[in-house]
Amino acid sequence: MANHKSALKRNRQSIIRRDRNRANRTKVKTAVKKIDTAIEVEGSVEKAQEALVAAVPVIERAAVKGAFHKKTASRKISRLTRKVNSFAGSKETAA
């Protein structure tokens, strides 16, 4: 355990930041799961696209707040967008 005043404060700050980052990462995971559910369980292109539109700002916000690196967030958005677009394309060709 920390003994110096500055170390005690640093410990308090790290606890607060850890909780904040954990909450932001959880929001991102929930948004990604909504996209996956719309694709795999419901099979709905519209719901998948709506979930993607809702997920992108959540991921970007988490990156701005420091829960993810900027490039990690960009990679997640890119992969999710490709996944939704390929799903939508496969549905159109099947119809």
Q: Which fold has domain 5-94?
A: Methane Monooxygenase Hydroxylase; Chain G, domain 1 (1.20.58)
Per-residue pLDDT of 16-35, as tens digits, reads 999 999 999 999 999 999 99
For the chain, the average pLDDT equals 94
pLDDT of residue 33: 97
Separation between Cα atoms, residue 45 and residue 65, nearest integer Å:
30
Helix 5-37 / helix 70-94 crossing angle, nearest 10 deg: 10
More confident residue, 21 or 1: 21
Domains of the chain, by residue range, sit at: 5-94
Per-residue pLDDT of 63-73, as tens digits, reads 999 999 999 99
Per-residue pLDDT of 36-75, as tens digits, reads 999 999 889 999 999 999 999 999 999 999 999 999 999 9
- Residue 20 near residue 65, CB atoms below 8 Å: yes
